[in-house]
Amino acid sequence: MKNHKTIILSNQEISPGYYRMRILAPEYNKLAQPGQFVMFRVQRSLPPLLRRPFGIFRVGYAAPDCDGMPQKEFVELIYKVVGSGTEIMQDLHQGDRVELLGPLGRGFDLGDPDEEKILVGGGIGLVPLYMLAEKLVANSNVRLLMGGRTRDDIITVTEFERLGVGTYVSTEDGSLGEEGLVTQVLERKLKKYPNAQVYACGPMPMIDAVQKICAAHSTPLQVSLEALMACGVGACLGCVVKGAGHSEENPQYLCTCKQGPVFQAEQLDWNRLENQSGDCGGCGV
């Protein structure tokens, strides 16, 4: 984990209300793991005072500005404009100064390469699944189930398809792909691939439905939880969730930022997760 004072390389709208920000980030190619996140802050203004957490979409190398110059390492964040923090971010430009604290958190366990892998992403929840898919496609069959309210919420389809991932799109209004919920597609896939491993990220109602489906099929599940957090390192305890077996006599709390954001489903108390934050822009509100 390092605090980087760095600059923005690009910041572009990729779908109405969704932006992809590329940031100069030395060492992230060797440090960042699938499912990790960063704490982001704009240097040029005081508000918002606290850093915002954002899942890492991908890391890579940008072409040099001229011959003989080294390639630039970068990290990409994708965010949805949902509040004051992301409203400020959408107006940032190439060369603007920002701070990144990270990479942070516990990422995904890649599991057995012989298992079928099913990734389930809803809206901005697709973001942490890209680096996971990059790792998995080398040794496993990977299928991505993408869900959203409308076609505007289905982002980065082309990027996943370039990896060789099988993509299945569903929207609640039928404006793109199959009409209905992404969990309906998951039900069908688990009947076809009963030995699959499932990975999911998205709004809490979707995550809760995925957990119920996987539990009914005895399917291993890892979930990446979206949460508001102030510090990102487990100090403020603002992002705790209740662990399995939690009770008043024996409280069990887990920090989403440090022990997550990725959890094995059996680690969590699902009866107490209903009020967990959902669509929080990735989560830079």
Assign residue 16 the CATH number of its domain.
Answer: 2.40.30.10
Instruction: Find out whether 257 is annotated in a ligand binding site.
Output: yes
Collect all residues with Cβ–Cβ distance below 8 Å to 254 and sequence separation of at least 6. Answer: 240, 241, 242, 243, 260, 263, 267, 268
State whether residue 214 is helix, strand or coil: helix
48 part of a folded domain: yes
**DSSP summary character for residue 211:** H
49 part of a folded domain: yes
State whether residue 44 is helix, strand or coil: coil
Look up the pTM and report it.
Answer: 0.91
Task: Specify which residues 178 forms β-bridges with.
Answer: 170
CA dihedral 86, 90, 91, 97 (to 10 degrees): 80
Domain count of the fold of the chain? 1
Instruction: Find out whether 201 is annotated in a ligand binding site.
Output: no
14 part of a folded domain: yes
**Token pair in block for residue 204:** 């809490």
Instruction: Find out whether 83 is annotated in a ligand binding site.
Output: no
57 part of a folded domain: yes
Q: What is the pLDDT of residue 227?
A: 79
Instruction: Per-residue pLDDT tens, the chain, 285 aa: give them.
Output: 688 899 999 999 999 999 999 999 988 999 999 999 999 988 665 555 568 899 999 999 977 665 555 678 999 999 999 988 899 999 999 999 999 999 999 999 998 888 899 999 999 999 999 999 999 999 999 999 999 999 999 999 999 999 999 999 999 999 999 999 999 999 999 999 999 999 999 999 999 999 999 999 999 999 999 877 777 777 777 788 888 876 777 778 888 988 999 999 999 989 877 555 455 555 443
**Token pair in block for residue 35:** 């499912």
**Which residues form the domain of 85?**
2-104
69 part of a folded domain: yes
70 part of a folded domain: yes
50 part of a folded domain: yes
Instruction: Find out whether 243 is annotated in a ligand binding site.
Output: no
156 part of a folded domain: no
Instruction: Find out whether 283 is annotated in a ligand binding site.
Output: no
Instruction: Find out whether 236 is annotated in a ligand binding site.
Output: yes
Q: Is residue 48 reached through a cis peptide bond, with omega within 30 degrees of 0 on the bond before it?
A: yes
CA distances from 203 to 80, 234, 272 (A): 13, 22, 15
